[in-house]
Structure 1
């Protein structure tokens, strides 16, 4: 029998040996998941091959037996039954996966049924629209557990009426999850806002920054009166968040929710990275009347109120 014939046959027949290599056909690897009890001993010989993220140390050597005996490891990939060249060396995620195991263990020790309850559904009261900035983790700064805040994040927490991604998440939050608070949170030191203040071109992201530039143009005269560059950026952070609050409030999603009597408010917040504190911007919209009142405030009045505060 030729080598080619043998290889073809192995695509359709699982033998008692489940030894796999990086060159095996993917079909054979997937079928290996259906190994019967009669092959259990051979399977056990390779049961730890799915420790792909921590099986090897930084030198490419096998990890200690302590790691091998960790039964809380991630499920084995259906198409990667053993080590492959692409994962032969430990990488940055190894530490993160270990952190995850430690976190999961600590949660279970405090509340054994926590993850079981999480798996049954979510009932968050807060929908958070924030910046993608890694320094503004909403669960962490709000001290909320998984399942307590529904989230949408993008560069500079921008909400525009043409963003179907954001609006779809908003609709799900309001109509399905029945959240009570929609939070739009900007943050001082926002790179997206700072970029929008300048004239430098950044390529593709310029299309997104254009939304912030439009907000800047609406308040250009009042922004120009602020000489300090950092303070000007802080002001634009605030009015950019306000603009997103108003865009959410003007959406058909919120209009329909208020018309049917659903109690859901929109709140504008700002996060100060230097202090770790959240601040209220004074933009609260609970109904169509509140929206009308907010829309009646012109730029000069807005900046005067900001200076007074």
Structure 2
């Protein structure tokens, strides 16, 4: 094995972790892949013999790449006012490979990723690297060009915004699935009272149909969300609903004649639906790898 092949093999061992970091930073699977690939290119151009801690070095590089991508994205969105749901990670419970397992770890649901989108790039990096991956602030500080104390403050500010903004999901997958099944039954039957009974008073529904559909739309509260019962019923009676894990939480993948039309993610808290996230953007659905949905 050549030194280059050995280095590539070592890099592959770190790849699941690096993509998990990048996904939490960016909320985009394609951009996360780009960030990881850029880390490999920088590693291949470097003197790897001088790197004492390869995992730490690669995490730092990915962090810097993601920070630059977030800053560039923020500049573009300030001009376009674009909002969108993060990319969902969809799989069957028993069909995740190591990379999928890393992406799904800690049930980083779409609701949490939406909140992370509201942070500044530096806050998001400090929070993700410290709170989710345990990097010390001494290692985070150079990435954001701050002192360790300032990096700690960035993470603290982010933590305050995240805490309470997203409810903690119920831990039992079976309990989550029962509530999603109850939602589907209420939708199919057009049962308004049954639907209301499983919605949290502060329920939030986010639907992203893409640019042609007017971008992301948000509804808040039981009255507004239950008011979509007719839409839910049309979906439930015309489409085939496939139970799946969406970002580690109970969700549904909906198809018509084998064509993917939407991915739904549910956050279940205290036995009630607290968030529903629906991605129906045809362009983004076409890029999803749903081979793992096959039994």
TM-score by length of 1: 0.22
The structure richer in strand per residue is: 2
TM-score by length of 2: 0.23
The structure richer in helix per residue is: 2
Structure label with greater radius of gyration: 1
Q: Which has the higher contact order (CA 8 A, sep 6+)?
A: 2
